[in-house]
Chains A and B, each alone.
Chain A
C-alpha cells in the first residue's frame, strides 16, 4: 500500500519533470533559432555584396574616376563591365576622415584627460553629460550644423572641410569616452610615482599616461574612424560630391558613401553600387578587426 503510493508519486513527479524538461528544451531551441535569425542579415548582406560586386573590382576601379552615365549606359548595352572606378570617392573619403581625425584626436584626447583628472567636479560632470548628448545627435543634424557654420561662413560653398567638420563632431564624443575609460584602467601608482619624482604635469601626460594607454587610445580612435567612414547623410549636406579627384579642402568633394548614393539614383550605374559597397564594408570591417586584435593583445 505504502509502496504503491510512493510509486504513484514518483511517476507523477517524473511526468511533471518531463513536461518541464520539454518546455525548457523548446525555450532553448527558440533562443538559438532567434539568435540565428539575428545574425542572418550579416551573412546575407556580405554574400550579396561579394557575389554582385566582385566583377567590378579590378585595377581601374581603384585608379580611375567615376564614369558619366552615358559611358555606363554604352557599357551596359554592350554587356561589358562599366569603365572607370571610384578613385574620386576613395581619395575624398581618405581626405575627409583624415581632416576629421586631425581635429578630433587632439581635442578628444585632451578632453578625455580633463575628465579623467577632474571626473568628480560638477563642471566635469556637465561636460560628460554634454558628451553623451552629442553622441546621440542624429548625424543628419550634425550635417545641417556644419552646413550653417562651415559651408555658409568659412568656405562659402560645399566643401571637404565642411564634410570633415560634421565627421569631427561625430568622432569627438567617441574619442573622449574611450580616452577617459582607457586612462581609468591605468594604475594610479604609475602616475603618482611620476609626481613623486617631480616630473612636470605635461610630461606626466605625454610620457606616462599616453604611452601606457596607447593601445586603448588607438582602439578608440580606430572605432571612431570606422563609425564615420560609412556616413552618408551629413556629407550630402556638406561635401556634396564631385566627379573628379579633389584634394582642395575648400571645394566640393566626393566620398565612397556619396558615390554609392549617386549610383543608387542612376539606373545605368547599378553594377558599380555593389563593388563600392563591398569596398566600404571591407574598410569598416577591416578597421574593426584591427582594433579587436589590439584589444585581445592587450588583454593577454
Chain B
C-alpha cells in the first residue's frame, strides 16, 4: 500500500519536473542559439539599427524591431483603454447580472477566440482600405494599422480581468455613495475607480504583454520594413513578425540573430507578465 502511494507521488513529481525541464531547456536553447550573434555584435546588437543580410556585409541589429514592438503595443493599449474600460463597466456594474451583460460578455469572449490570422485577413481586406480612404497613407500599412488590430485583439483580455476587479468592489461602499445622492458617474469615479484602480491597471499590463508577442495579424499589416518608424503611419516591423518573415531563408549568423531577437522578446514579455502577475497577487 505504502509502496503504491510512493509510486503515485513520484509520478506526479516527475510530471511537475517536466515543465521545469521544458522551461529551462527553452532558455538554454535560446541562449545557445544567440551565441554566434552575441560573439559578432556583442551588446551593440540591441542598439544597432542595421538589418543587412547581404553576404560578406552581414550586420544585424534589433533596435528597429524593439521600437516597432513597443510602439504598436502602446498604440494598442491607448486605443484599448476607453473601450475595455467602458465594456467592463457595462458588464460588471451598469448592467451587472442582466441578460444584456452576459450577451456583451459572450461577444467579447468570441473576440478572444478569433485566430490571429483571421484578424490579419480582416485587417488587410477591411481595415487597411479604410486607412487608405481616410488619407492617412497610400498603402494603409503601418504601425497605426497594426496597433489598431492589436487593440481589438487584446480588448477581451483587459476587459475580462477588469470586470472581475470591478465586481470585487464591495456593494456597501457603492450603496453608501448612492444613498448620499451620488450619480452613477460619481460612483464610478469616486468609489469603483479608487478601489479597483490597481486591478484595472494590471489588466492593461497583461493585455500589453499579450500585444507584444502577437505575430500573424501584425505581420500582415505593419508593412515589414526594417526601419524605425518615424510617424504613426510609417511602416515598421515587430520582433515577432520579423522572426515569422525572415525565418524561412535564415541560417548561420542571420538565424542566430533571429534567435537573439526571440530571446529578447521572451525576456521582455516575461518581465511584463511577471510584473502583471505580481500586481495581481497583491490584490
- Determine whether the beta carbon of A34 is less than 8 Å from that of B86: yes
- Determine whether the beta carbon of A141 is less than 8 Å from that of B213: yes
- Determine whether the beta carbon of A232 is less than 8 Å from that of B216: yes
- Determine whether the beta carbon of A140 is less than 8 Å from that of B240: yes
Which residues of A in the span 116-150 have a Cβ within 8 Å of any Cβ on B? Answer: 117, 123-124, 126-127, 129-141, 144-145, 148-149
Which residues of B in the span 196-230 have a Cβ within 8 Å of any Cβ on A? Answer: 209, 212-216, 220
Q: Which B-chain residue is minimally distant from A204 (CB atoms)?
A: B8
- Determine whether the beta carbon of B113 is less than 8 Å from that of A232: no
- Determine whether the beta carbon of B87 is less than 8 Å from that of A280: no
CA distance A9 to B120 in the complex (A): 60
Residues from chain A with a CB closer than 8 A to the CB of B82 are 34
Answer whether residue B177 sits at the interface, using C-beta atoms and an 8 A cutoff.
no
- Determine whether the beta carbon of B109 is less than 8 Å from that of A288: yes
Residues from chain A with a CB closer than 8 A to the CB of B89 are 31
Answer whether residue A261 sits at the interface, using C-beta atoms and an 8 A cutoff.
yes
- Determine whether the beta carbon of A39 is less than 8 Å from that of B243: no
Residues from chain A with a CB closer than 8 A to the CB of B186 are 20, 24
- Determine whether the beta carbon of B5 is less than 8 Å from that of A137: no
Question: Given A201-B8, A264-B220, are A280 and B115 also a contact pair (CB < 8 Å)?
Answer: yes
Which residues of B in the span 125-170 have a Cβ within 8 Å of any Cβ on A? Answer: 125-126, 152, 155, 159
Answer whether residue A162 sits at the interface, using C-beta atoms and an 8 A cutoff.
no
CA distance A230 to B277 in the complex (A): 26
Answer whether residue A176 sits at the interface, using C-beta atoms and an 8 A cutoff.
yes
- Determine whether the beta carbon of B213 is less than 8 Å from that of A111: no
Q: Which of B21-29, B35-43, B46-54 contacts A (4 or more CB under 8 A)?
A: B21-29
CA distance A131 to B249 in the complex (A): 33
Interface size class of B (residues with CB under 8 A): 35 or more
Answer whether residue A6 sits at the interface, using C-beta atoms and an 8 A cutoff.
no
- Determine whether the beta carbon of A31 is less than 8 Å from that of B86: yes
CA distance A144 to B240 in the complex (A): 11
Answer whether residue B66 sits at the interface, using C-beta atoms and an 8 A cutoff.
no
Q: Give the Cβ gap from A250 to chain B, nearest Cβ, in Å.
A: 21
> What's the dominant secondary structure at chain B's contact region?
helix
- Determine whether the beta carbon of A39 is less than 8 Å from that of B277: no
Answer whether residue A38 sits at the interface, using C-beta atoms and an 8 A cutoff.
yes
Contacting residue for A202 out of B4, B16, B18, B118, CB 8 A: B4
- Determine whether the beta carbon of A130 is less than 8 Å from that of B20: yes
- Determine whether the beta carbon of B118 is less than 8 Å from that of A281: yes
- Determine whether the beta carbon of B1 is less than 8 Å from that of A200: yes
Contacting residue for B265 out of A124, A126, A141, A229, CB 8 A: A141
- Determine whether the beta carbon of A111 is less than 8 Å from that of B4: no
Q: Give the Cβ gap from A112 to chain B, nearest Cβ, in Å.
A: 9
Answer whether residue B232 sits at the interface, using C-beta atoms and an 8 A cutoff.
no
CA distance A217 to B30 in the complex (A): 33
Interface centre among B7, B23, B125 (most CB of A within 10 A): B23
Answer whether residue A187 sits at the interface, using C-beta atoms and an 8 A cutoff.
no
Interface readout for A167-189 with B: 1 if CB under 8 Å, 0 if not? 00100110010000000000000
Answer whether residue A257 sits at the interface, using C-beta atoms and an 8 A cutoff.
yes
Q: Which B-chain residue is minimally distant from A286 (CB atoms)?
A: B113
Question: Given A27-B185, A32-B90, are A137 and B266 also a contact pair (CB < 8 Å)?
Answer: yes
CA distance A49 to B269 in the complex (A): 32
Q: Which B-chain residue is minimally distant from A237 (CB atoms)?
A: B247
Q: Which A-chain residue is minimally distant from B103 (CB atoms)?
A: A39
On B, residues with C-beta under 8 Å from A are 1, 4-5, 7-9, 11-13, 15-16, 18-20, 22-23, 25-26, 29-30, 33, 82-87, 89-90, 94, 104, 106-111, 113-122, 124-126, 152, 155, 159, 183-186, 188, 209, 212-216, 220, 240, 243-244, 247-248, 258-259, 262, 265-266, 269-270, 272-274, 277
Q: Could you list 19 examples of A-B contacts with CB < 8 Å?
A: A27-B188, A30-B86, A39-B104, A42-B111, A111-B15, A111-B16, A111-B19, A113-B12, A132-B273, A133-B23, A135-B273, A138-B269, A141-B266, A145-B26, A145-B29, A202-B7, A233-B116, A236-B244, A237-B243
